[in-house]
């Protein structure tokens, strides 16, 4: 089988066996097709570590950053491990290639005051404002990804136990607690707004005025609008709300592993980055307040 054929087989494997999201599959496809463009249609067994290194060096000439190259190398490693398992090649040529060094970027977050202003912005005298308040409160209360938020079903929220069941990456479900404030806003939306606009048999929790599911782009757009009204001058994305959720929990003494479980991180190291943001806050408070700081 040609290199292109093996890439198609690997992408099918990721789609069926690992249930990766469409956007993730598209990113894998782009990174792997770049390998085909670099080497042409050759047999996978003819690709050695030098070929992979040349591709990554070429990335630098094309203006790729270290993060983009690291992501591509990660995609290539997964692909060649798959080929080894399928016995298409004897060894993985990426094993001897060093991963580009990444500068650790701390996530940007909102302050407590900015969060309060944002939560208070939707006009809850109007149906759309009631829905938007419920969505923003839930996102900050639970740290959901935007894709998880807009795909929630009515049955995913248990108001009695105060838990939401989120379908995360790789089709994995997790239970996340939701506070009373968010539950109150969601209750008002489900009781007073949703029944008036929902299409028949529509199971999605948050819906557009047309009666169908709200899109990720739709939520992103309304969030940016509310940020502007709230006087938040830094760019705001749904993921920044997730960052803020995690950092604010840790600043208030939450256990790191509990935060990991709520975020749905497979690796604790992914969650640990938030401890650095929380520590920066403590350090800044010390600098501002201590007489000998």
Give the tens place of pLDDT for each residue, 33-87.
Answer: 888 888 887 888 888 888 888 888 887 777 777 777 888 888 999 999 999 999 9
Are 157 and 178 contacting, i.e. CB atoms less than 8 angstroms apart?
Answer: yes
Report the mean per-residue pLDDT for the chain: 86
Q: Compute the distance between CA of residue 226 and CA of residue 221 in angstroms, rounded to an integer.
A: 9
Strand blocks (E) in the chain: 157-158, 163-167, 173-177
Residue numbers annotated as active site? 145, 169, 239, 242, 265, 274
Q: Compute the distance between CA of residue 277 and CA of residue 243 in angstroms, rounded to an integer.
A: 10
Give the residue with greater pLDDT, 274 vs 168. Answer: 168
Q: What is this structure's pTM?
A: 0.65
Question: pLDDT-based confidence at 292, cuts 50/70/90?
Answer: low
CATH class of 3-85: mainly alpha
Looking at domain 112-289, does it have CATH number 1.10.443.10? yes
pLDDT of residue 243 exceeding 60, the answer is: yes
Tokens of 139: 């996102």
Give the tens place of pLDDT for each residue, 102-128.
Answer: 556 667 889 999 999 999 999 999 999
Q: Please report, for the chain, the start and end positions of each structural domain, with discontinuous segments joined by +.
A: 3-85, 112-289
pLDDT of residue 286 exceeding 50, the answer is: no
Give the tens place of pLDDT for each residue, 6-32.
Answer: 999 999 998 888 888 788 889 899 989
């Amino acid at each position: 089988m040609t290199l292109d054929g093996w890439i198609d087989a690997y992408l099918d494997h990721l789609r069926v066996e690992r249930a990766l999201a469409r956007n993730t599959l598209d990113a894998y496809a782009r990174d792997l097709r770049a390998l085909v463009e670099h080497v042409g249609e050759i047999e996978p067994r003819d690709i050695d570590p030098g070929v992979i290194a040349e591709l990554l060096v070429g990335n630098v000439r094309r203006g790729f950053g270290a993060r983009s190259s690291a992501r591509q190398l990660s995609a290539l490693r997964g692909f060649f491990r798959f080929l080894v398992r399928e016995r298409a090649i004897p060894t993985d040529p990426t094993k001897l290639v060093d991963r580009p060094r990444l500068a650790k970027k701390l996530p940007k977050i909102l302050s407590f005051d900015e969060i309060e202003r944002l939560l208070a912005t939707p006009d809850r005298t109007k149906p759309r404002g009631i829905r938007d308040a419920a969505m923003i409160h839930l996102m900050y209360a639970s740290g959901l990804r935007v894709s998880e938020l807009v795909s929630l079903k009515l049955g995913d929220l248990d108001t009695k136990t105060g838990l939401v069941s989120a379908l995360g990456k790789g089709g994995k479900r997790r239970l996340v607690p939701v506070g009373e404030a968010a539950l109150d806003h969601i209750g008002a939306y489900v009781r007073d707004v949703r029944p008036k606009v929902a299409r028949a048999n529509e199971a999605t929790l948050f819906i557009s005025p047309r009666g169908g599911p709200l899109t990720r782009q739709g939520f992103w757009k309304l969030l940016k609008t509310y940020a502007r009204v709230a006087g938040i001058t830094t760019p705001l994305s749904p993921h920044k709300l997730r960052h803020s959720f995690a950092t604010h929990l840790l600043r208030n003494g939450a256990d790191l592993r509990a935060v990991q479980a709520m975020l749905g991180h497979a690796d604790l190291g992914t969650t640990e980055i938030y401890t650095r943001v929380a520590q920066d806050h403590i350090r800044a408070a010390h600098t501002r307040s201590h007489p000998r700081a």
